[in-house]
Chain A
Amino acid sequence: MSVKVLIPTPLQKLTHDQPTIDCDGANIAELLESLEQNCPGIKARICDEQGQLRRFVNFYVNSEDIRFLEGVNTPLQDGDEVSIIPAIAGG
């Protein structure tokens, strides 16, 4: 099963400048582990010391914020697109 993850610019240093990464995972929590295996160090940028998603980062499965769904337990299907959108403030 493959899910496409869209990586925001600030995290692309950890993906060798790739804007998208293909990962596996039956849900968001598993996807995070897969992402960490592919791009070591990325999980610490997205999650806090307790492993909770940081509250200045949004996760969308396709177009839906996972807080509307089941959070990190949100199930993923083959072909889903997961977007990581951090808060930004450039003006």
Chain B
Amino acid sequence: MQTLTPTELERYRRQIMLPGFGEASQQRLKDSTVLVTGVGGLGATAALYLAVAGVGRLILLRGGELRLDDMNRQVLMTHDWVGKPRVFKAKATLEAINPDVQIDAICEYVSPENVDDLVQAADVVLDCAHNFIERDLLNAACVRWGKPMVEAAMNDMEAYLTTIVPGLTPCLSCIFPEKPDWDKRGFGVLGAVSGTLACLTALEAIKLITGLGTPLLSQLLTMDLSRAEFSKRHPYHDPDCPVCGDKSRRLAVTRQEEPCFSHS
């Protein structure tokens, strides 16, 4: 653990002032690693707010090149980068904004080959991928390694968000045991919509790391941004979930044996 430098204490002064935050929370952010999968309108914008908040290390994972039709929402990119691998531009932009943050840029998609190492390297994982295959792989790996995962997804003007702590809350597979066909470019997106969800996603990670406020544990926040309607719902925690059922049962036994155990 490296203590906060005078520059960092000044850079983060306004958030350290927050009630219940303080230097201890800032130190926790500095000591943390967050994995962000999918560096698009959602993931890259979430990464931006984690970088400016002072998360010590960000691992950005996204294959593929920047397209011109990404530019209405991908605020870490510049026009001259179209056609090049976007994840490296994301790293360069974030390092220019905050040189105190370590950024690891990996130009790959989530795969069975890379997911376990990546999840093990992280304290918190943000699921911002643009298809269900990557999302399911990440969910299963987070359950396997006991890592909290913020699940964020959008479609047109709608979005949802929940924070998964394996065993304690429903996992993605409990909530949606199956997934529909999905065309990753088959829907519309405004940058302000993916950006709204991204800010809330980053905030969930900050809450998990610092203990600030109350994260969306066992709560599904749904948003219809065309009508500015926000609702919190109680998603199903499946005791027989093929992904997290064993872990949930073990944790339930542990909690019965330790009646003082509680979560916030």
Contacts and interface: CB of A to CB of B under 8 A. Distances in A.
Interface stretch (A24-32, A58-66, A72-80): A58-66
A63 B160 CA distance: 14
Interface stretch (B47-55, B141-149, B175-183): B175-183
Contacts of A83: 222, 231, 233
A contact residues, range: 20 to 34
Interface string B221-240: 01010110001111110100
Contact of A55 (B129, B178, B189): B178
Given A9-B157, A90-B42, A91-B128, 19 more contacts: A8-B158, A9-B156, A54-B178, A55-B176, A56-B177, A56-B178, A58-B236, A63-B231, A83-B233, A85-B222, A89-B130, A89-B135, A89-B184, A90-B187, A91-B38, A91-B40, A91-B41, A91-B130, A91-B153
Interface residues of B, number: 43
A87 B132 contact: yes
B43 interface: yes
Contact of B155 (A55, A63, A65, A90): A90
A27 B184 CA distance: 35
A65 B132 contact: no
B35 interface: no
Contacts of B129: 89, 91
A91 B182 contact: no
Contacts of B180: 54, 56, 86-87
Contacts of A60: 233-234
Interface in A34-80: 54-56, 58, 60, 63-65, 67-68
Given A89-B153, A89-B182, A91-B152, A67 B236 contact: yes
Nearest to B131: A89
Contact of B224 (A19, A54, A65): A19
B66 interface: no
Contacts of B128: 91
A58 B177 contact: no
17 contacts: A9-B187, A10-B155, A55-B177, A55-B178, A58-B236, A63-B234, A83-B222, A87-B153, A87-B180, A88-B154, A88-B155, A88-B159, A88-B182, A89-B184, A90-B154, A91-B38, A91-B130
Nearest to B152: A91
A32 B152 CA distance: 28
Contacts of B42: 90-91
